[in-house]
């Protein structure tokens, strides 16, 4: 298969995932409830007084008076032109609303990921390298604990201690690096918990590989063996998970931004669901699918660099 | 002489030697951590089934004099801004939180297992299509998918449970399918086929029992994540309406008193952590049990 | 006498597990003088590999030296720290590991991996190390050394990788090299050239070698002295010729008797033979069978126009190295895969495309015994359940009758009846293979396909299973199709032998003719490569 053919196939697959995410959310959001217009007018309340005229007008505006397949194709066509409809809350286009909020969330997620990667590498390496069984058990019991803590609770506890009691960091807001610390730590904990578990397992099993014995038989110190031979091999399995981990970090931003009252895509999503702003919710889901495929494509490019056994283009196979 | 030599233990080269070992009897004693986990799970189950046995008071009873009392004798978890006892509210909330969790796991388990089993066993084109769909669902973070479903279904504990359950289907399906494919490709299943065993006999005698272990492991693990997901969604405000003492909303309620009354959020949170840890510990024990067999 | 290169005195090694301490080496003495090649021979669990690893302090987690001394060049290294041992490893003791395919770091270039050991011990700096690595590759008989140095391990064949590892072990000219089953993962013909290479390098450097092997044939051919280990103890040691000619310990005699490579004759049944059941003639015929697999776009021909016949009541051995197509042939005979072209006949009937009920009926007559008794038995079922599964499948007999048949089958494969209730997981490898044979016999088949029936077992167990197969054949009038990479195994049970090479049938004939007067060049290469063949 040629390089172009391979690239085309990968891109086709990526487009398929985004399309499927769009279609799935369309099915969930527009087909599941009895009447999306009533849902929108009600905004989740009990309200019985829906003006029939207003409902009809809205119905026509959103095209809900047309057959489902027409609605779907219309929306898909618009989506292909970069138009995901207008938010129910403020009437702004969904795409610009999301794009405006994205940088804040990206900074938060990137900081959290950086913290998680550093912490999990150190923890996993220490757990694998230590000769003390007790220390290893202690280190390896941290990630399950981290994964068991509800992140909204962790955020609140951090607020209590570091904002209200100690006053080190502001409790809310988006200004300055100080406002980033607590949310990033909150968001990093579940990610670091997952990463540490995966890394410790794969570093541990790499240490059992026969080539490690070859390296040790050369007289290399354990630390050199770890850095030069084990880490790269052990990191390969985590690469397959990177898209899922980044996706979950973004989803975690929903909770974190809500707890810390930060502006961002997460908070936007929280309020969109709260007011059943269907177009905006769909926009966020499609965004998450796009992030997923982009990260996966990037991982595909990195793979052959990290692991020479994977040819950049599978020759004839 | 030959058969005596044969009865010597199995070959486990390369390095770990096995000199004659007495017949292996696995010890039935449970690890202390596992015992603790089972106690925690049994306790919260008791809360859910018989709340008034564990906390006879009324969870909604307002006692103006007892407002915002710190944990201490009489009120082990303290009281809230209306003077309600937090321990009582946590105990009475268990039924809501745990039944939502159980429903979510059940949906994920049943639907996911069926899809995975069918996909793995039928194979071919069908398998391809189903797995592509599963891939797409896995591409969307679980919490986000659950939120989208909640948007469509509306709010309430039952709907939150449904949403969490549906968003877990893909993960179950993927795991079961992988396991079915593994067992199906194993030498002993092929051996059964060569012996003339029919495919459905193979399915229920070899494939199902050998795939069951991993399903239980995942179910226990999912129990923990479902507790987290359900409480996260109700923390965000999509769960039961206010007076209900659902765990996530208890924590959420305490937000306004963070600076003055830490126990409002901390105590229910610790209960959630304990339940999740216990479920994960159980999952690990099941996993180990499955692998040593 | 000068100081020995390696002197082990009263060595004890124990593995600490969760439950208890398992002794692996229980008071071993060993001496290796300068330039001497000493082979430590034993079966799995004998402690031979543990002994080798203890010498350079590379015991796996949980293992530790609990007594005795390990003197390397006069210094006791048994209690040395990791730091002290690092100066010894690679510098004065080299290691040639077991399986070359997994013993090189897959993500580092070959050249770097060789250069590393030189730089670690200060024998080269960053610049000179690369050049020296290329020289080492060249001396290892690897063509295009500059190119190979820049390649990754997966781009080299198994034999070449083992040459690289030998190069690494000898890079710093150590006084002692430990070779831990250095060729057991390789095909016989490759094994031969690698062992020759190892012998050359050893002679050139005057290095002493501690050679660990399960194969008495290899030891006989390559060692000056042989040390036999069993259950963590040395049971016999002496000069190679003496140990082979006049073994003093019963276990050594047992090993010698069992060593397939040292044996020529076909095993004789210990039970009276019966006439084969069914019509005379060929029970199995493969006519012009070709099988192609599609690998990407290029079709790969696993079998190319192979014609073979198996007369009723006899044994046909099919021999070949990995990739020869022998396993594909077995699967076609079992109708697990269909050939691309050609005909499969059972008792003259064309069954090439038989399906459904008729295929199921065929399954009753042709049964299979797998290579790996650890994988082919469902770990959840009891032995009785496993053996009677084919009876269940065909609805034969009631519960009592099936139990009776299971016990009868256990008798036939010489297992105690008490194992019927045990789980397969509780049995040893040899016992499991007996259970697998019992299951294959449950339906009273006419033809058994044996796919590497003993390759996962220790030699003494191999011998017992082969004898059992020969006995069962006589007693039940069975026909066997035996697939093996091991000529010596095939020789002990086959009436006729077929040699496959890259999908082609290169030679086919009565066993004795083929072994004594091989016609095809590949057959001769295979025969030559049998370790120990030239010794005995």
Residue C298 has pLDDT above 70, yes or no: no
CB pairs < 8 Å spanning A and B: 148
| Nearest C-alpha in B relative to C58 | B15
Of all residues in chain B, the one with the smallest CA distance to C359 is B196
Does C103 contact A213 at a Cβ distance shorter than 8 Å? yes
> Which range is least confidently modeled, B174-178, B268-272, C456-460?
C456-460
B contacts of C458 (beta carbons < 8 Å): 11
CA angle A254, A258, A260 (to 5 degrees): 125
Nearest CA in chain A to B277: A148
Q: How confident is the model at residue C536 (pLDDT cuts 50, 70, 90)?
A: very low
The pLDDT of residue B72:
73
Closest CA to A22 of A107, A90, A94: A94
User: So what's the pLDDT on residue C487?
Assistant: 84
B293 vs C contacts (CB less than 8 Å): 379-380, 425
Contact C58 A214 (CB under 8 A): no
Contact C336 B23 (CB under 8 A): no
Does B88 score more than 80 pLDDT?
Answer: yes
Residue appearing with tokens 């939502």: B100
CB-based contact C477:C315 (threshold 8 Å): no
Q: Residue C104: how many CB atoms within 10 A of its CB?
A: 25
Dump pLDDT digits (tens) for B170-201: 888 888 888 888 777 777 777 777 777 777 77
Contact A156, B265 (CB under 8 A): yes
Range list of H helices, C125-249: 126-139, 145-150, 158-170, 188-205, 216-222, 240-245
Domains of chain C as residue ranges with CATH: 6-107+152-258 (3.40.50.300), 282-383+444-528 (3.40.50.300)
List the subunits that have 3+ CB pairs under 8 angstroms with B.
Answer: A, C
pLDDT value for C95: 94
Note whether B195 contacts C442, CB cutoff 8 Å.
Answer: yes
CA–CA separation, C335 and C302 (whole Å) = 16
What was the pLDDT predicted at B91? 84
Q: Name which of B13, B24, B191 is nearest C49 (Cβ-Cβ).
A: B13
Q: How far does C217 lie from chain B, in Å, by closest CA?
A: 19
Sheet of C233-239: strands edge to edge?
C93-96, C176-180, C208-213, C37-41, C225-230, C233-239
How large is the average pLDDT for residues A187-191?
Answer: 92
B206 close to C378: Cβ distance less than 8 angstroms: yes
Could you read off the pLDDT of C126-142 as tens digits, one per residue? 889 999 999 999 988 88
Residue-by-residue DSSP string for A165-181: IS--S-SS-S-TTHHHH
Q: Any CB–CB contact under 8 A between B22 and chain C?
A: no
| CA dihedral (A6, A7, A12, A15) positive or negative | positive
> Which residue in chain A has the smallest CA separation from B166?
A28
Min Cα separation C320/chain A (Å): 26
Q: Give the residue from B7, B10, B183, B207 with the most C CB atoms within 10 Å of its CB, the best one to mutate.
A: B10
Q: At what angle do helices A151-158 and A231-259 cross, to 10 degrees?
A: 70
Query: Domains in chain B, please, with CATH?
Result: 54-64+94-292 (1.10.3720.10)
pLDDT given at position A314: 43
> Do you find a cis peptide bond into C262, omega within 30 degrees of 0?
no
The set of chains that have 3 or more CB pairs under 8 A with A is B, C
> Which pLDDT belongs to residue B82?
74
Instruction: Specify the pLDDT at position A230.
Output: 93
Contact residues, A window 131-150, toward B, CB-based 8 Å cutoff: 144-145, 147-150
Q: Judge: A21–B254 Cβ closer than 8 Å, yes or no.
A: no
Question: Each residue of C273-293: pLDDT tens digit?
Answer: 777 666 778 889 999 999 888
C513-524 pLDDT, tens digit per residue, is 888 888 888 888
For residue A232, pLDDT over 80 is answered with yes
- CA Rg value for chain A: 24
Say whether pLDDT at A217 is over 80: yes
Q: Contacts of residue C377 in chain B, CB cutoff 8 Å?
A: 188, 191
pLDDT digits 0-9 by tens, C343-395? 999 888 888 888 778 888 888 888 888 877 777 888 778 889 888 888 888 88
In chain C, residues with a C-beta closer than 8 Å to the C-beta of B27 are 19
Measure CB to CB from residue C295 to each of A209, A232, A317 and give the nearest one: A317
CA distance B237 to chain A (A): 7
- Neighbouring CB atoms inside 10 A of B254's CB total 24
Compute how many other C-beta atoms are within 10 angstroms of the C-beta atom of residue B279: 26
Angle, nearest 10°, between helix axes A278-306 and A265-274?
140
Q: Model confidence at B19, in pLDDT bands (50, 70, 90)?
A: very low
Average model confidence (pLDDT) across chain C: 87
User: What is the rounded end-to-end Cα distance, in angstroms, of chain A?
Assistant: 8
Q: Summarize the confidence of residues A64-82 as an average pLDDT.
A: 81
Q: Report the percentage of chain C scoring pLDDT > 90.
A: 37
- Chain A residue with minimal CA distance to C117? A218
User: Does the pLDDT of residue B246 top 90, yes or no?
Assistant: no
Q: Spell out the domains of chain A, with CATH numbers in brackets.
A: 3-85 (no CATH), 95-306 (1.10.3720.10)
DSSP state of C213: E
Q: Are C487 and C524 in contact (CB under 8 A)?
A: no
When pLDDT is cut at 50, 70 and 90, the band that residue B13 belongs to is very low
3-state SS of C158-172?
Answer: HHHHHHHHHHHHHCC
Once rounded to an integer, what is the mean pLDDT over residues C471-486?
A: 89
Q: Within an 8 Å CB–CB cutoff, is residue A44 touching chain B?
A: yes
C37 closest CA partner among C90, C96, C99, C91: C96
Separation CA C436–CA C243 (nearest Å): 36
Work out the pLDDT band at B212, boundaries 50, 70, 90. confident
Assign A134 a pLDDT band (cuts: 50, 70, 90): confident
B96-99 contacts at long range (C-beta below 8 A, 24 or more positions apart): B96/B157, B96/B240, B96/B244, B96/B245, B96/B246, B97/B227, B97/B230, B97/B231, B97/B246, B97/B247, B97/B248, B98/B44, B98/B45, B98/B48, B98/B227, B99/B48, B99/B157, B99/B161
CB atoms B265 and A156 under 8 Å: yes
| pLDDT of C207 strictly over 90 | yes
Among chain B residues, the shortest Cα distance to C439 is held by B195
Chain B nearest CA to C251, separation (Å): 11
- For C374-404, what is the HEC assignment? CCCCCCCCEHHHHHHHHHHHCCCCCHHHHHH
Nearest to C28 by CA among C261, C227, C206: C227
Residue C89, classed as helix, strand or coil, is: strand
**Arithmetic mean of pLDDT over chain B:** 78
Q: What is the 3-state secondary structure (H, E, C) of C247-294?
A: CCCHHHHHHHHHCHHHCCCCCCCCCCCCCCCCCCCEEEEEEEEEEEEE
Find chain A residues with C-beta within 8 A of C297's C-beta.
Answer: 316
Beta carbon pairs, A and C, within 8 Å: 84
Check CB contact under 8 Å for A220 and C295. Answer: no
8 A C-beta contact, residue B139 and residue A289: yes
Tokens 């970069």 belong to residue: A82
Token pair for C375 = 């994988």
From A210, which residue of chain C is nearest by alpha-carbon distance?
Answer: C103
Structure tokens at B272: 């959630």
Compute the count of residue pairs across chains B and C with CB atoms less than 8 Å apart: 140
3-state DSSP call for residue C26?
strand
What does the mean pLDDT of chain A come to? 83
Strands C37-41 and C63-72: unpaired
CA distance C447 to chain B (A): 13
CA distance A107 to C514: 75
Look at A241-245, A254-258, B171-175, C158-162 and tell me which has the smallest mean pLDDT.
A241-245
| Sequence-distant (≥ 6) Cβ neighbours of residue B119 within 8 angstroms | B126, B127, B130, B131, B173, B177, B180
Task: Give C 148-187 residues with CB within 8 A of chain A.
Answer: 152, 154, 165, 168-169
Does A73 contact chain B (CB < 8 Å)?
A: no
DSSP state of B204: I
% of chain A exceeding 90 in pLDDT: 21
Query: A76 to each of A70, A82, A84, A89, B201, how far by Cα in Å?
Result: 10, 10, 9, 22, 46
Q: How close are the terminal C-alpha atoms of chain B, in Å? A: 31
Taking chain C, what is the end-to-end CA distance rounded to the nearest angstrom? 32
DSSP per-residue string spanning C455-491: TTS-HHHHHHHHHHHHHHHHHHT-EEEEEES-HHHHH
Residue of C98, C376, C460 with shortest CB distance to B5: C460
Among A31-35, B136-140, B288-292, C429-433, where is mean pLDDT lowest? A31-35
Give the Cα separation of A223 and C521 in Å (integer): 51
Summarize pLDDT for C50-74 with one digit per residue, the tens: 999 999 999 888 888 999 999 998 8
Over residues C412-435, the pLDDT tens digits come to 888 888 888 888 777 888 888 899
Average of per-residue pLDDT across C107-134: 92
């Amino acid at each position: 298969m040629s390089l172009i053919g391979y690239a085309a196939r990968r891109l086709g697959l990526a487009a398929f995932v985004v399309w499927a995410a769009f279609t799935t959310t369309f099915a969930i959001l527009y087909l599941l409830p009895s009447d999306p217009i009533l849902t929108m007018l009600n905004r989740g309340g009990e309200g019985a007084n829906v003006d029939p005229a207003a409902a009809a007008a809205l119905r026509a505006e959103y095209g809900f008076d047309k057959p489902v397949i027409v609605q779907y194709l219309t929306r898909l066509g618009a989506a292909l032109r970069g138009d995901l409809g207008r938010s129910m809350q403020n009437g702004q286009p969904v795409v610009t609303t999301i794009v405006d909020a994205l940088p804040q969330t990206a900074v938060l997620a990137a900081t959290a990921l950086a913290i998680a990667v550093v912490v999990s590498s150190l923890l996993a390496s220490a757990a694998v390298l230590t000769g003390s069984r007790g220390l290893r058990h202690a280190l390896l019991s941290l990630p399950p604990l981290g994964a068991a803590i509800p992140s909204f609770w962790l955020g609140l506890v951090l607020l209590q201690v570091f904002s209200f009691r100690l006053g080190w960091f502001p409790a809310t807001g988006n200004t300055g690096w100080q406002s980033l610390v607590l949310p990033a730590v909150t968001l990093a904990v579940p990610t670091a918990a997952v990463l540490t578990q995966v890394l410790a397992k794969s570093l541990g099993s790499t240490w059992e590989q026969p080539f490690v014995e070859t390296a040790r038989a050369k007289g290399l110190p354990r630390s050199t063996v770890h850095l030069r031979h084990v880490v790269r091999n052990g990191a390969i399995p985590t690469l397959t998970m990177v898209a899922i981990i980044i996706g979950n970090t973004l989803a975690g931003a929903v909770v974190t931004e809500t707890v810390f009252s930060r502006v961002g895509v997460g908070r936007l999503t929280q309020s969109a669901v709260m007011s059943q702003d269907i177009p905006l919710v769909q926009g966020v889901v499609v965004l998450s699918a796009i992030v997923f495929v982009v990260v996966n494509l990037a991982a595909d490019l990195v793979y052959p660099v990290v692991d020479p056994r994977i040819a950049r283009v599978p020759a004839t196979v | 002489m030959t058969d005596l030599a044969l009865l010597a233990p199995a070959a486990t080269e390369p390095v770990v030697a096995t000199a004659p070992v007495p017949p292996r009897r696995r010890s039935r004693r449970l690890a202390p951590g596992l015992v603790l986990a089972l106690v925690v799970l049994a306790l919260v189950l008791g809360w859910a089934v018989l709340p008034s046995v564990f906390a006879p008071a009324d969870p909604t009873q307002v006692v103006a004099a007892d407002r915002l009392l710190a944990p201490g004798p009489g009120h082990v978890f303290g009281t809230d801004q209306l003077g309600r006892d937090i321990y009582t509210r946590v105990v009475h909330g268990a039924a809501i939180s745990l039944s939502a969790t159980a429903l979510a796991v059940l949906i994920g388990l049943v639907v996911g297992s069926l899809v995975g089993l069918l996909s793995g066993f039928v194979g071919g084109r069908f398998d391809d299509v189903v797995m592509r769909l599963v891939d797409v669902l896995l591409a969307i973070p679980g919490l986000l998918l659950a939120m989208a479903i909640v948007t469509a279904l509306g709010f309430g504990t039952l709907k939150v449970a449904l949403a969490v359950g549906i968003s877990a289907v893909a993960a179950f399906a993927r795991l079961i399918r992988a396991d079915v494919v593994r067992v199906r490709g194993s030498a002993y299943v092929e051996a059964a086929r060569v012996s003339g065993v029919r495919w459905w006999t193979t399915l229920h005698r070899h494939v199902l029992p050998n795939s069951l272990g991993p399903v239980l492991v995942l179910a226990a693990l999912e129990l923990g994540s479902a507790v987290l997901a359900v409480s996260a969604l109700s923390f965000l405000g999509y769960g039961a309406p206010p007076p209900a003492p659902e765990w996530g909303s208890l924590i959420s309620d305490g937000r306004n008193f963070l600076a003055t009354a830490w126990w409002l959020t901390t105590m229910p949170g610790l209960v959630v952590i304990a339940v999740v840890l216990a479920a994960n510990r159980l999952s690990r024990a099941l996993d180990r049990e499955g692998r040593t067999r | 006498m000068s100081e020995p290169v390696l002197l082990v005195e009263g060595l004890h090694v124990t593995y600490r597990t969760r439950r208890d301490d398992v002794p692996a080496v229980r008071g071993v003495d060993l001496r290796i003088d300068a330039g001497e090649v000493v082979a430590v021979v034993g079966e799995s669990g004998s402690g031979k590999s543990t002994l080798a690893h203890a010498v350079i302090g590379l015991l796996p987690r949980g293992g530790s030296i609990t007594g005795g001394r390990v003197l390397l060049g006069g210094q006791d290294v048994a209690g040395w720290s990791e730091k002290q041992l690092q100066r010894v490893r690679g510098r004065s003791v080299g290691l040639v590991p077991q399986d070359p395919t997994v013993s090189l770091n897959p993500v580092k270039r070959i050249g770097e991996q060789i250069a590393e050991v030189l730089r670690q011990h200060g024998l080269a700096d960053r610049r000179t190390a690369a050049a020296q690595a290329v020289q080492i590759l060249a001396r290892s008989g690897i063509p295009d050394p500059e190119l190979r140095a820049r390649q990754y391990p997966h781009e080299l064949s198994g034999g070449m990788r083992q040459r690289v590892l030998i190069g690494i072990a000898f890079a710093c000219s150590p006084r002692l090299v430990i070779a831990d089953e250095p060729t057991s993962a390789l095909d016989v013909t490759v094994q031969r050239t690698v062992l020759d290479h190892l012998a050359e390098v050893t002679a050139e450097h005057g290095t002493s070698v501690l050679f660990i092997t399960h194969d008495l044939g290899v030891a006989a051919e390559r060692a000056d002295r042989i040390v036999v280990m069993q259950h963590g103890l040395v049971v016999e040691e002496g000069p190679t010729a003496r140990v082979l000619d006049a073994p003093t310990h019963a276990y050594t005699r047992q090993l010698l008797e069992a060593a397939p490579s040292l044996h020529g004759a076909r095993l004789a049944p210990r039970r009276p033979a019966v006439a084969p059941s069914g019509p005379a003639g060929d029970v199995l015929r493969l006519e012009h069978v070709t099988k192609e697999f599609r690998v990407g776009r290029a079709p790969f021909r696993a079998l190319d126009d192979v014609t073979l016949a198996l007369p009723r009541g006899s044994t046909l051995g099919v021999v070949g190295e990995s990739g020869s197509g022998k396993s594909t042939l077995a699967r076609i005979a079992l109708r697990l895969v269909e050939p691309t072209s050609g005909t499969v006949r059972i008792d003259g009937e064309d069954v090439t495309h038989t399906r459904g009920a008729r295929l199921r009926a065929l399954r009753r007559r042709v049964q299979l015994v797998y290579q790996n008794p650890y994988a082919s038995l469902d770990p959840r079922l009891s032995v009785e359940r496993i053996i009677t599964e084919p009876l269940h499948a065909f609805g034969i007999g009631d519960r009592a009758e099936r139990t009776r048949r299971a016990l009868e089958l256990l008798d036939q494969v010489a297992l105690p009846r008490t194992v019927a209730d045990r789980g397969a997981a509780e049995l040893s490898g040899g016992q499991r293979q007996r259970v697998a044979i019992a299951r294959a016999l449950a339906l009273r088949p006419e033809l058994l396909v044996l796919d590497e029936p003993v390759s996962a077992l220790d030699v003494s167990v191999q011998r017992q299973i082969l004898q059992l197969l020969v006995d069962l054949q006589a007693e039940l009038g069975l026909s066997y199709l035996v697939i093996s990479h091991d000529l010596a195994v095939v020789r002990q049970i086959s009436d006729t032998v077929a040699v496959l090479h890259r999908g082609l049938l290169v030679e086919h004939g009565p066993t004795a003719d083929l072994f004594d007067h091989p016609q095809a060049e590949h057959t001769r290469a295979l025969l030559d490569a049998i370790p120990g063949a030239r010794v005995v």
